[in-house]
Amino acid sequence: MELNTLTIHELQEQLKSGQTTALQVAEAVYNRIGSVEERVHSYIRLMKEEALAAASKADEDIKKGFIKPLTGIPVALKDIVCTKGIPTTCGSHILHNFVPPYDATAVEKLREAGAVFVGKANMDEFAMGSSTETSFFGVTRNPWDLERIPGGSSGGSAAAVAADECIASIGSDTGGSIRQPAALCGVVGLKPTYGRVSRFGLIAFASSLDQIGPFTKDVEDCAIMLNVLAGYDPRESTSVPAEVPDYRQFLGRDITGWKIGIPREYFIEGIDPEVAAAVKKAITVIEKCGGRCVDISLPHTEYCLAVYYIIAPAEASSNLARYDGVKYGLRTAEARDLLDMYKKSRTQGFGMEVKRRIMIGTYALSSGYYDAYYKKASQVRALIRNDFAAAFKQCDIILTPTTPTPAFKIGEKVDDPLQMYLSDLFTISSNLAGIPGMSVPCGFTAAGLPLGIQFLAGHFEEGKLIQIASAYEKNASIEKRRPNL
């Protein structure tokens, strides 16, 4: 089997035993990129020279017995995390020439753990999108069907793992941007609790919602990645100094007696029949593992989409005000005065979806409308959070579909923002509540498109997610397939 198709834990065994070298693994990944990247377009920028140098150093470390959790493992980085000396664009024209002077904490941690960085993965511009169609650098395609979207906004990160163009990757999740593309690309994706992983060096979209998390080929790899990423960071004001367990200890544990909440509001009219069938089958598997499914209610679910699309654009409006053509990024060459330079730089630099959300957010925060929109949305957000707190008194884990449909065709929803926003219907609520969520592959449609189920847990209970996902993965017997590229 080709080295680029293996998991982190499989490669760790081979690297430790001397069956292979980190340089051979990196070369296998770049050979794969050379053969499929032109069609998939997972990456904005490759870092081959740096990666091969890092792989050679990893081989030296292995020979000396210095083996860290990710030594020699090729990892892709969503192009929203700052990388010192390497351009970080956020998929936007306005940052096409931005080179950060520092690394994000997540990048530092991965580097310290021995990871080899393959490149910066494509994404929806400023993480605003559900399809990776809004990137200034072009559309990423789903490796399972090149006519379809990979999900978004972390579509490049998900597609790179699915297409074996890296071994694992990281993305960011503001309203489902890790879990939704993970489901549509047939990989594992986890959004940690808000505050569990440092956001220092993550270019902000909506600061009260954003969170960094991993994409992996299986649940064990997800535990390995989370071990590296999680932890308190004094440089990040929302980072929580909570104890971080070894997430690998939750693998293979029994879930007998667990109550699994099935929220009635998530099984709605309009959900794709094949998605509904796959989730029902997954529920049967969980029951065979010893879980007991119970009916629960999250009564304010119907308001989640409206609340999210007030809070997220409002915070984006504030965060994106810094891109003015003065300090860094794009600056127009034809301005008459300062105000004209602001206007033209932002007009030329931002794409249509980003402009739409800035305008929505600015309106929601404007004088006379703040109380009616942003304040009201924040109050309803508290009710949504209370719904989850009440639900977790009745159950250990909540199980839902990750997405209402399989991957749709490129261009199908690009002119209908509301239909596009509905793609995140089942993932938005956990960002509003700040709880962790995880998408795990649960099968394929008749046309061969991947599907995912979502597990949700209480604050800082990522271990429970790893435990139930591990039990499900072991017992579901999902057919092992690879995209035919």
Beta strands in 93-222 (DSSP E): 116-121, 168-172, 188-191, 212-216
- Burial class for 281, CB neighbours closer than 10 Å (0-12, 13-18, 19+): middle
Residue recorded with tokens 């794969």: 32
Distance CA 258, CA 274 (A): 27
Cα–Cα dist 167/73, whole Å: 7
* Beta carbons of 254 and 222 less than 8 angstroms apart: no
CB 153 within 8 A of CB 165: no
Written as one letter, the residue type at 216 is T
CB 128 within 8 A of CB 258: no
Cα separation of 356 and 351, whole Å?
A: 9
| Cβ atoms within 10 Å of 61's Cβ, excluding its own | 16
What is the phi-psi region of residue 63: left when phi exceeds 0, alpha when psi lies from -120 to 50, beta otherwise? alpha
**List of E strands, 244-361:** 259-263, 292-296
- Enzyme catalytic residues: 78, 153, 177
CA distance 477 to 443: 9
The dihedrals phi and psi of 284, each to the nearest 5 degrees, come to: -60, -40
Angle, nearest 10°, between helix axes 8-17 and 48-64?
A: 50
Sheet with 259-263: list strands edge to edge: 43-46, 116-121, 74-78, 168-172, 212-216, 188-191, 437-444, 450-456, 397-401, 259-263, 292-296
Residue 22 CB neighbours (<10 A)? 26
Burial of 396 (C-beta count, 10 Å sphere; 0-12/13-18/19+): buried
